[in-house]
Amino acid sequence: MFISSKNNDIIKQIKKIKTKTRARREEGLFFAEGRRLLSETPAGLLSQVFVSESFAYGDTEADDRLHGLLKDYDNVVEVSDAVFAEISDTRHSQGIAALVKCPVYAMQDLMGEKPLILILENVQDPGNLGTMIRTALGAGATGIVMTDGCVDIFSPKVVRATMGAIYRMPYYRVRDVVSLHDDMKDQVRFFAASLHGQKSYDRCDYTGGTAFLIGNEGNGLTDEAIAVCDEEMQIPMENGLESLNAAMAAGILMYEAHRQRQ
């Protein structure tokens, strides 16, 4: 198949999935773009692949993996360069993109033998969320939980920022932190990162089941979320600095847990 019209129904579907959270959730698909990201996509999650007419494989490791992934895949659609530019979400397109099936997890998939959970309340910045997913994977976290007020995990900017980690980090969505605590309190201890914590983060014990709470970039955690936490601690800061970037704070906490568990 070759698509040369921007008004093609498939192109309209891509645009809708790319821009609308509701469409992604209804169809169970998200938009992924670029050689490296697609080269890490599990074959079973691919729904449809799109390449521009000028696309050609390069000589990188990502290209080799991508070629191996797609050599026997028969649902590849070629589109004109102009049409690909229409669906691309990046300034410098690499000429390959796909509609990918959203992985689905149950809450128990996040727990593991010794849970290390990152709980995000109303995090809004796509770059922050994507970075936290990638950092959580590197630090050995067993899952990420997001409240309904968080940015959609499958928005193109979040997906791109994860650099492939989105395929390997179990996630779950919940209405709010209070109801989540009621469900998890017997398996993990809740730690709130707060400006008002009385104990430094590195003096807490994270060797058991642990959940770190990170709040909204501008407002932090809600009072309701802090109230259900087992411990409220802080990351010490010098020179009058009051707060850190949310993704940076999450990384510090998760890697302290990783250090303690070694």
Tell me the per-residue pLDDT of 161-193, one tens digit each, with 9 for 90 and over: 999 999 999 999 999 999 999 889 899 999 998
Nearest alpha carbon to residue 214 among 188, 235, 199: 235
- pLDDT tens sequence across 232-253: 998 988 888 877 899 999 999 9
Q: Is 10 exposed, middle or buried (0-12, 13-18, 19+ CB in 10 A)?
A: middle
Nearest alpha carbon to residue 33 among 121, 158, 190: 158
Residue 1 pLDDT class (50, 70, 90 cuts): confident
pLDDT at 197: 79
What is the mean pLDDT of the segment spanning 37-47?
Answer: 95
Nearest alpha carbon to residue 154 among 49, 1, 25, 242: 25
- pLDDT tens sequence across 104-159: 999 999 998 899 999 999 999 999 999 999 999 999 999 999 999 999 999 999 99
Contact 85, 33 (CB under 8 A): no
Q: pTM, whole model, 2 decimals?
A: 0.93
Q: Is 61 exposed, middle or buried (0-12, 13-18, 19+ CB in 10 A)?
A: exposed
Instruction: Tell me the backbone φ, ψ of residue 100, rounded to 5 degrees.
Output: -120, 140
Contact 38, 114 (CB under 8 A): no
Alpha carbon distance 91, 248 (integer Å) = 26
pLDDT over 80 (residue 258): yes
- Percentage of the chain exceeding pLDDT 70: 100
Block residue for tokens 């250090």:
259
In the chain, count H helices and then E strands. Answer: 10, 12
pLDDT over 90 (residue 52): yes
pLDDT at 241: 80
Average pLDDT, the chain: 94
pLDDT at 110: 96
Residue 18 pLDDT class (50, 70, 90 cuts): very high
- Percentage of the chain exceeding pLDDT 90: 86
pLDDT at 72: 85
What is the mean pLDDT of the segment spanning 215-222?
Answer: 90
